[in-house]
Chain A
Amino acid sequence: MLLQFIINGIIVGSIYSLVSLGFAIVYNTTRIFHIAYAVLYMFCPYMILTFFSNLGIPIFIAFIIAILITVVLSLLMEIIIYRPLAKKNSSLNIIMISSIGIMIIVINTIALFYGNETKILNPDISETFSFGDIIITYIQLAQFVISTIILLIFLAFLKFSKFGIRTRAMRDDDILCSVFGMDIYKMRIILFTLSAIFAAIGGGLVAYDVGMDPYVGMPMLLNAVVALIIGGIGRFEAPIIGGFIIGILQSLSVWAISARWQDAVTFTLLILFLLFRPQGLLGEKKRAV
């Protein structure tokens, strides 16, 4: 039984890692506390719903179209909302509140068109297979495999491109970067595209399993943020590790206590980390201001 919970935890953790990484890509570099990221996660499944269930396009193609539309939404947020604020040199609090504003608008627009109730993408009960005592559904397997592949691709990309070092430079000083001829707005477009892709894939995979309503983004965002804090802000490997830790821990708390308390466990962990190790497991110590 314990092993079953750990396996479940790893599967959930792989999704957390993916979503958390998307959040980290924006947060690590621009310091935007991108709360509206939650709606990207929720938005993609609704697009899949439109193209797959309503228009009858095959699921795989519908998924890709949905990801592209999510990317467009993410870029619209950057261009219409964040970029002007960044140019005005607004404070992080103002940007965060604006982000809350975007989130409220998108959630309610979706609710207006699709309704508040839970929608499902896949009406069938998923088939399962088992190793001994452990039972896994095919969708769970797909979640794990797809997200792991994407994470690996991203890590490889980090290792073999200049992306890592550029984003690091951007985090340190974006004005200096533009002085040195890096186009930070072009860079930000790349960041927002990447993060939207991660959110969209995560959202789509989960929604295919359990369905969605307009409010699923927020809880996922919170788990992603906790994963990021636990892993440590600054490195892209960190949210991945954090995601798996959260996934396994939540699963274990379901096993040991009860499913009802898993949020309490997660957020207690968050507060403990904020207090005693704010730089996270992998994070770097900051020079005091």
Chain B
Amino acid sequence: MINIYIILTTSTNLLVGMTNLLSLGQAALYGIGAYLAVLAMMVLNLSFIPTLIFVIIGTSLLSLLIAYPSLRLRGDYFVLATLGFQLIVFTILYNWVDVTRGPYGIPGIPSPILFGDIVITGIIPYLILSSILAVGVVSLFFKLIYSPFGRALKAVRDDELSAEAIGRNVTALKIWAFVVSSGFIGISGLLYASYVSYIDPTSFNLDEAIFILSAVIIGGTGNIKGPIIGAVFVVILPELLRFVGLPDSVAANLRQIIYGLMIIILMRLRPQGLAGEYALR
């Protein structure tokens, strides 16, 4: 799970930390990735690598549908638009029963198959596979953030007007950021689907979107280590609470309360998060 969330938060950071776009639609993209993965594996019978490529491209393309209208808006309105899309996607996943089986979910998702005959089953091989992907995604984003592309995004984040005045196409840069980030969120959808072998729309609802966003904000924005710390934190905390010996019913609510408190305290005292370098504006 940590690896899945590292991919989620690192990708989201490209939007939140690098471009100052607060998106509440990340869970929708995560869900789109998961459902596309199921489509590729169970209907098209692709093996793992083609599925991966299919999911990345598919999620990126679908995200364009969200990116293009939302990015014409600014500030609150952008957040609202992504929120709107989040709910629309959720409603579609939930209600288009013929295709997604809606609330019944899709069971029996096969384990990933590599190179024709290596089946990834069991926790250890799966851990290795997801770690490889997470490390790959993180190092790719490391490259991206410190490339001229990342620099241009930072310029857009700091001052849109000036970025435009030095000849940068702000809208195109934002769309690129959105699409690239979405493509990689798709990977985490794929990993999730094949890990739990059962998906239903409630894993990709608004609460999940808020959860992803708060993981990024708690960890910190604008660099590589912030989102990773955020992901590790939100995944480890429930385990810690269980370790302390709280009953599950209490622990679930208590951990949410801890997230909420952390968000408020961080926003007040340290808006760049635990380990980030960019303070949200």
Contact = CB atoms under 8 A, between A and B. Distances in A.
Touch test A–B (CB under 8 Å): yes
Interface of A: 31, 33, 81, 84-85, 88, 90-98, 100-105, 107-109, 111-112, 218, 222, 225, 229, 260-261, 263-264, 267-268, 270-271, 274-275, 278
Given A261-B91, A274-B73, A98 B263 contact: yes
Contact of A225 (B75, B80, B214, B271): B80
The B interface, classified by DSSP as helix, strand, loop or mixed, is: helix
A267 B84 contact: yes
A235 B76 CA distance: 18
B87 A104 contact: no
Contact of A104 (B22, B88, B91, B256): B256
Contact of A112 (B214, B253, B281): B253
B260 interface: yes
B169 interface: no
Given A108-B256, A261-B95, A278-B73, A102 B271 contact: no
6 contacts: A94-B280, A96-B76, A101-B262, A101-B264, A108-B260, A275-B72
B87 A109 contact: no
- Chain A CB within 10 A, most for which of B88, B214, B264: B264
Given A94-B271, A225-B80, A267 B256 contact: no
Contacts of A100: 210, 213-214, 260, 263
B88 A267 contact: yes
A104 B84 contact: no
Interface in B2-60: 20, 22
A276 B69 CA distance: 10
B260 A93 contact: no
Contacts of A94: 267, 271, 280-281
B102 to A, nearest CB: 9
The A interface, classified by DSSP as helix, strand, loop or mixed, is: helix
A31 B73 CA distance: 16
A235 B268 CA distance: 31
Given A97-B280, A100-B210, A278-B77, 17 more contacts: A90-B267, A91-B280, A93-B280, A93-B281, A94-B280, A97-B263, A101-B264, A101-B267, A102-B264, A105-B260, A108-B254, A222-B87, A263-B88, A264-B87, A270-B84, A271-B84, A271-B88
A62 to B, nearest CB: 25
A91 B281 contact: yes
A94 B80 CA distance: 15
Contacts of A275: 69, 72-73
Contacts of B69: 271, 274-275
Closest 5 CB pairs of A and B: A104-B260, A101-B263, A105-B260, A101-B264, A108-B253
A264 B88 contact: yes
Contact of A263 (B75, B91, B262, B271): B91
Contacts of B240: none
Nearest to A225: B80
Contacts of B88: 263-264, 267-268, 271
B261 interface: yes
- Chain A CB within 10 A, most for which of B80, B92, B95: B80
A271 B76 CA distance: 13
A187 to B, nearest CB: 21
B217 to A, nearest CB: 6
Contact of A218 (B73, B79, B206, B281): B206
Given A91-B281, A102-B264, A222-B87, A96 B79 contact: yes
